[in-house]
């Protein structure tokens, strides 16, 4: 059965997104139609609009979402009508070299910036962000892009687990492996950065310095568990060292995706420390480090893609932590909005205001 649904569409680069009516494809074998209940506004969505990334257009935005299965195609075994699910924007194929060598987050076929899934706008194909296009009333996606979650889990929590929380928590646990007593600096306090702060404290970090350009993020950082808050500026490296016995942090997490903040994270880290880049930046924003500095500092610089996580295993585990009270997410959501309000949420994000805006449908 085909369906027409409202969705947030950007028609060309730098254009203002608008709510439009798109036509979903019929549910085919191995596919599922999901009624979206909540969708988080992630910086990657803004990157699809402001030129940081260059996806094909027209494009349905949104990728961090949760909802309820409405219809399952033939051959589907993971979910059925009525199943509550978190959407997975990077579903591993389980067959490529990376998947079979324990790195499903680097799956050769999963990380596609946008693709056509049969949806149309004005009778012509429309692309969908990260294979999902979740700023829509309903989506049709492959079965493997869905992760069942408990019915009692709130829709907004389920949505955040699928991107911000998994990315931030995984960066701490899986990529950097923060240990008890470590010192940590987190640069950029959006939904992902605040999730890094929470995970670092849960891992036993003794010092967690939260850094942002906005003084308004201090209360959010403290609610997430930060021991210190610093407004980013020219003295950031010195500010971090005064809080880490003069050495610099054991771990720095860059959650912005800019060359300048990656260099700042590098300078804020002690000799032999680790810099983990979590933010996704522009292809032409080049990071420059001197060859001597790389050698003499003995620091490690690496990225964390989707938290170096296997979402099928880790999202249910995080959901259990939320339900048990071991993981709190209430401080992450600062605005509840509708589809038409997403552009205003992008503006707040660009100004560094708030944490996560969540679309409810």
pLDDT tens-digit readout, 295-333: 999 999 999 999 999 999 999 999 999 999 999 998 899
* 21 pLDDT above the threshold of 90: yes
Contact between 218 and 194 (Cβ < 8 Å): no
Q: Which helix (H) or strand (E) holds 219?
A: helix 218-224
Contact between 314 and 327 (Cβ < 8 Å): no
294, part of any domain: yes
Range in 42-56, 160-174, 243-257, 277-291 the model is least confident about: 42-56
Q: Which residue has the higher pLDDT, 216 or 196?
A: 196
Residues 259 and 342 in one domain: no
Residues 10 and 144 in one domain: yes
Residues 123 and 234 in one domain: no
317, part of any domain: no
Across 218-235, average pLDDT: 95
- The model's pTM: 0.94
DSSP string of 255-283, one letter each residue = -S--HHHHHHHHHTEEEEEEEEE-S---T
Q: Which residue has the higher pLDDT, 300 or 1?
A: 300
65, part of any domain: yes
Contact between 181 and 206 (Cβ < 8 Å): yes
Residues 138 and 13 in one domain: yes
- Report the pLDDT value the prediction gives residue 112, as an integer from 0 to 100: 57
313, part of any domain: no
Q: Which residues contact 294 (CB under 8 A, 6 or more apart)?
A: none
Residues 176 and 289 in one domain: yes
Across 263-273, average pLDDT: 97
The Cα 156–Cα 361 span in angstroms is 11
**Mean pLDDT taken over the chain:** 95
* 282 pLDDT above the threshold of 80: yes
Q: By C-alpha distance, which of 234, 189, 185 is closest to 205? A: 185
Across 109-113, average pLDDT: 68
Q: By C-alpha distance, which of 151, 139, 134 is closest to 38? A: 134
Across 214-221, average pLDDT: 94
Contact between 67 and 61 (Cβ < 8 Å): no
* 252 pLDDT above the threshold of 80: yes
- Report the pLDDT value the prediction gives residue 129, as an integer from 0 to 100: 93
* 111 pLDDT above the threshold of 80: no
Joined together, the tokens standing for residue 204 give 């036993």
- Report the pLDDT value the prediction gives residue 117, as an integer from 0 to 100: 79
Q: By C-alpha distance, which of 88, 255, 104, 268 is closest to 174? A: 104
Across 259-285, average pLDDT: 96
- Report the pLDDT value the prediction gives residue 258, as an integer from 0 to 100: 95
- Report the pLDDT value the prediction gives residue 323, as an integer from 0 to 100: 97
Supply the CATH number for residue 13's domain.
Answer: 3.90.180.10
Range in 115-119, 123-127, 312-316, 355-359 the model is least confident about: 115-119
Residues 261 and 176 in one domain: yes
Q: Which domain holds residue 339?
A: 3-148+329-360
Give the total number of structural domains in the chain.
Answer: 2
Joined together, the tokens standing for residue 83 give 């199943």
**CA distances (Å), origin 33, targets 30, 69, 149, 325:** 11, 6, 16, 31
169, part of any domain: yes
Residues 46 and 169 in one domain: no
Pairing of strands 249-254, 183-187: parallel
Residues 112 and 143 in one domain: yes
134, part of any domain: yes
- Report the pLDDT value the prediction gives residue 330, as an integer from 0 to 100: 87
- Report the pLDDT value the prediction gives residue 276, as an integer from 0 to 100: 98
Q: By C-alpha distance, which of 253, 303, 320, 301 is closest to 105? A: 303
Residues 302 and 177 in one domain: yes
Residues 233 and 143 in one domain: no
Helix, strand, or coil (residue 284) = coil
Q: Which residues contact 264 (CB under 8 A, 6 or more apart)?
A: 187, 232, 236, 237, 254
Contact between 345 and 357 (Cβ < 8 Å): yes
* 15 pLDDT above the threshold of 70: yes
Supply the CATH number for residue 243's domain.
Answer: 3.40.50.720
315, part of any domain: no
Residues 169 and 142 in one domain: no
The Cα 65–Cα 164 span in angstroms is 11
Residues 122 and 259 in one domain: no
Contact between 195 and 165 (Cβ < 8 Å): yes
The Cα 119–Cα 6 span in angstroms is 12
224, part of any domain: yes
């Amino acid at each position: 059965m085909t369906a027409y649904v409202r969705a947030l569409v950007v028609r060309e680069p730098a254009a203002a997104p608008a709510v439009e009516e798109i036509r979903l494809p019929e549910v085919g074998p191995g596919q599922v139609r999901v009624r979206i209940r909540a969708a988080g506004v992630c910086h990657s969505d803004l990157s699809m609009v402001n030129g940081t990334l260059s996806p094909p257009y027209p494009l349905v935005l949104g990728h961090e979402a949760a909802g309820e299965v409405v219809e399952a195609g033939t051959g589907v075994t993971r979910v059925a009508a009525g199943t509550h699910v978190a959407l997975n924007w990077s579903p591993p194929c389980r067959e490529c070299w990376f998947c079979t060598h324990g790195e499903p987050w680097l799956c050769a076929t999963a990380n596609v910036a946008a693709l056509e899934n049969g949806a149309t706008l004005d009778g012509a194909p429309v692309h969908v962000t990260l294979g999902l296009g979740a700023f829509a009333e309903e989506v049709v996606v492959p079965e493997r892009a869905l992760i069942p979650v408990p019915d009692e889990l709130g829709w907004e929590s389920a949505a955040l687990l699928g991107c911000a929380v998994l990315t931030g928590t995984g960066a701490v646990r899986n990529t950097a492996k923060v240990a008890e007593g470590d010192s940590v600096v987190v640069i950029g306090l959006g939904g992902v950065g605040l999730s890094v702060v929470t995970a670092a404290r849960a891992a036993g970090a003794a010092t967690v310095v939260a850094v942002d350009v906005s003084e308004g993020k201090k209360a959010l950082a403290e609610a997430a568990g930060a021991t210190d808050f610093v407004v980013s500026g020219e003295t950031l490296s010195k500010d971090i060292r005064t809080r880490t016995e003069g050495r610099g942090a054991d771990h720095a997490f860059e959650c912005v995706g800019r060359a300048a903040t990656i260099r700042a994270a590098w300078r804020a880290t002690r000799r032999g420390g680790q810099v983990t880049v979590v933010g996704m930046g522009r292809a032409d924003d080049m990071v420059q480090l001197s060859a001597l500095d790389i050698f003499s500092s003995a620091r490690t610089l690496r990225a964390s893609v989707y938290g170096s996580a296997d979402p099928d295993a880790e999202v249910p585990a995080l959901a259990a932590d939320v339900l048990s009270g071991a993981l709190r997410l209430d401080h992450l959501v600062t605005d509840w909005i509708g589809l038409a309000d997403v552009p205003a949420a992008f503006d707040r994000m660009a100004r560094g205001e708030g944490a996560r805006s969540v679309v409810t449908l």
